[in-house]
Homo-oligomer: A and B are copies of this chain.
């Protein structure tokens, strides 16, 4: 099963698993679902009894303000657990939705709790995953709080490509952005209009080249410098 293999690989990288751990994971009962783009998987306020593993496509988590403003708090790529916090926090404090068409696997909370109790290494891997999640949120606070538009977007591009590369998605410098400029704005605390202007500036300065939604990073060093990007907060090296 494609989905579980991804999960096993990911968790094994987070905290080395024994063969028994792995076979316990492979025995997890799943509900596979193919989801259209822009579909809400979890809604703020719900009490979900299952967690959601993304194994194809892209997704994000977001919060809505009472004035209708939307803030995307994370993007997700294949292999990510979209709402790991629901293992121990019953109430959803934000929405989870797809960006593109996607395939997800639902896993019951109770199963994950049981697994993490019976297999400490799995528990540690899941815990570690949620800690890296939190580290990324911290960096995002920094990003929207203390960087200007150009840096924010450059940083977002760097993070996205770094994470995609880490799972072997796309080659080094050329990739398609799955999200619209409006979604980039919702992630960076900008308007889609200003995202557009800023992308053009980045292109003008020679950091990227674009055609449609595909982006070529022509000068990675420059882009990282503009975005004040240092990948260590991703904690990718075990």
A15, A137, A147 — most chain B CB neighbours (10 Å): A137
Chain A interface mostly? helix
In the assembled complex, the CB of A119 is this many whole angstroms from the nearest CB of chain B, namely: 11
**Cα–Cα distance between A117 and B120 once the two chains are bound (Å):** 7
Residue of B nearest to A130 (CB): B131
Chain A interface category by residue count: 35 or more
B-facing residues in A178-212 (Cβ within 8 Å): 188-189
Q: Determine whether the beta carbon of B128 is less than 8 Å from that of A88.
A: yes
Can you offer 26 A-B residue contacts whose CB atoms are under 8 A?
A15-B88, A63-B139, A65-B146, A65-B228, A66-B228, A67-B228, A69-B147, A71-B141, A71-B142, A71-B146, A73-B138, A73-B141, A84-B131, A85-B131, A89-B132, A89-B135, A89-B235, A91-B232, A91-B235, A93-B233, A94-B138, A130-B130, A137-B137, A144-B145, A144-B189, A146-B189
Mark A residues whose CB is within 8 Å of B: 15, 45, 61, 63, 65-67, 69-71, 73, 84-85, 87-89, 91, 93-94, 117, 120, 123-124, 127-128, 130-135, 137-142, 144-147, 188-189, 228, 232-233, 235
